[in-house]
Amino acid sequence: MSKYLESLKFVIVGHVDHGKSTLIGRILFDTNSLSTDKLNELKTEKSESQSLQFAHLLDQFEEERLQDLTIDTTQVFFKTKKRDYIIIDAPGHREFIRNMITGATQAEAAILIVDVKEGLKEQTKRHAYFLSILGIEQLIVVINKMDLVGYKKTNFLKIKNKMKNFLDKVGLKPSFYIPISSLEGENIATSSKKMRWYKGPFLLKSLDMLKKRAPPLKKPFVFPVQDIFKLNSKRLILGKIEAGILRRNSKIKVLPEGKIATVNSIEKYNVSLKEAKVGESVGITLKEPIFVERGNIFCLPNKEPELKNKFKAIVIWLQNTPFNKNLPLYIRCATQKTNCRIEKIIKKIDSENLKIIKEKTLLIKYLEVAEVLIKTKIPLVVKHYNDLPVLGRFVLEDGFDTCAGGVIL
């Protein structure tokens, strides 16, 4: 068990080749978070560029080494004196945007990395817009490869101003803009002597200044049922508490049916608990023999989330085949799943320049963002994404393939 009081999970996003994997490798190196094997690999790997050596610390697949691009989200860990960190390395390549979104939905903060020479590119803007949709409020912008421009302040300010102008449009207000060189380790773990003109914190210090997201402990109890497990005579209802506190002998309401039951026991690793809090995965038994299945949501009577079969949402289309109104879809929200259809496309937004594409349209194409009206076959328990993310985000499926991700408005 860690001696640190808390951990913070953040995602690193940005355009392909702007240095995400190199930055992560540098952070791991500078925080002494690499295994002996990885250190030996770094020292002995014969590569033309030191940056490739750092980048390859994160590569999990031989295909990535051959193509020099990251194709899946990777979680890695490091520590500072303040706390533990979990980094989600999200792909920058256009074809792997789905993985980037998956990573961002798990994060409490984000680092947006920009190449000082290349500046804002397609994926820089698109990733920034997706972060704003997903409600990421804590953002650090790092302007990388400052060694390639002689660590000049003017180059940094030029890109910083362009970034600020774009981020203002999507409602993102970064906590810091930091000039760095991942390759040379400048402004990563210590202040850079080559950029004395920069007066802000170095990267690791800026991370320590971010706030840990408070768990929704004071919000009404929410428990999506994941599975039912029979153990001898007991019928354990398994899941993770997503909000609030559950106590033994509490009355709970089972949605969508609306039946009321009494909590008989709360169990965790064969230990009976008097109560369990948000973030804990537990098994629950009920005193009443009511029918419960995966996809049910437990909550407190008179404090339940809304049940809706029609709601507005923002979706990001992730399939090469465009959406059309005849396409049969399933929606997954937490453990809930049902048939649905997009009744109306209210508007589409170009995620690169933020212009409305068409007010009235019948198609949503690959990587287009649309505000839509969704109707479900049975009512779902939903919340606004920023209120309770687990009940405010969803995926749409066409058969067995995920074709879109979205957040409820």
User: Does residue 378 register a pLDDT over 70?
Assistant: yes
The DSSP 8-state label assigned to residue 96 in this structure reads G
pLDDT for 44 equals 60
* Whether the Cβ atoms of residue 21 and residue 60 lie closer than 8 Å to each other: no
How much is the pTM? Answer: 0.76
Least reliable range by pLDDT among 177-186, 269-278, 330-339, 348-357: 348-357
pLDDT for 65 equals 39
Residue 140 tokens, joined: 């650090």
- 368 Cα distance to chain centroid: 19
User: Does residue 192 register a pLDDT over 90?
Assistant: yes
User: Does residue 1 register a pLDDT over 50?
Assistant: no
Strand partners, 110: 11, 139
Give the torsion through C-alpha atoms of 308, 314, 319, 321, to 10 deg.
Answer: 90
User: Does residue 250 register a pLDDT over 50?
Assistant: yes
Rg (CA), the chain: 23
* Whether the Cβ atoms of residue 159 and residue 143 lie closer than 8 Å to each other: yes
pLDDT for 45 equals 56
User: Does residue 308 register a pLDDT over 50?
Assistant: yes
* Whether the Cβ atoms of residue 343 and residue 374 lie closer than 8 Å to each other: yes
Burial 327-361 (b: 16+ CB within 10 A, else e): eebbbbbbbbbbebbbeebeebbebbeeeeeeeee
Least reliable range by pLDDT among 67-76, 176-185, 252-261, 389-398: 67-76
Rounded Cα distance between 398 and 327, Å, is 8
If you average pLDDT over every residue of the chain, what do you get? 84
Strand, helix or coil at 408? Answer: strand
Q: List, in order of start, the domains of the chain with CATH numbers.
A: 7-208 (3.40.50.300), 222-299 (2.40.30.10), 306-408 (2.40.30.10)
pLDDT digits (tens, 9 = 90+) for 142-180: 999 999 999 999 999 999 999 999 999 889 999 999 999
Q: Where on the phi/psi map is residue 2: left (φ > 0), alpha (ψ -120 to 50), or beta?
A: beta
**pLDDT above 90 as % of the chain:** 47
User: Does residue 225 register a pLDDT over 90?
Assistant: yes
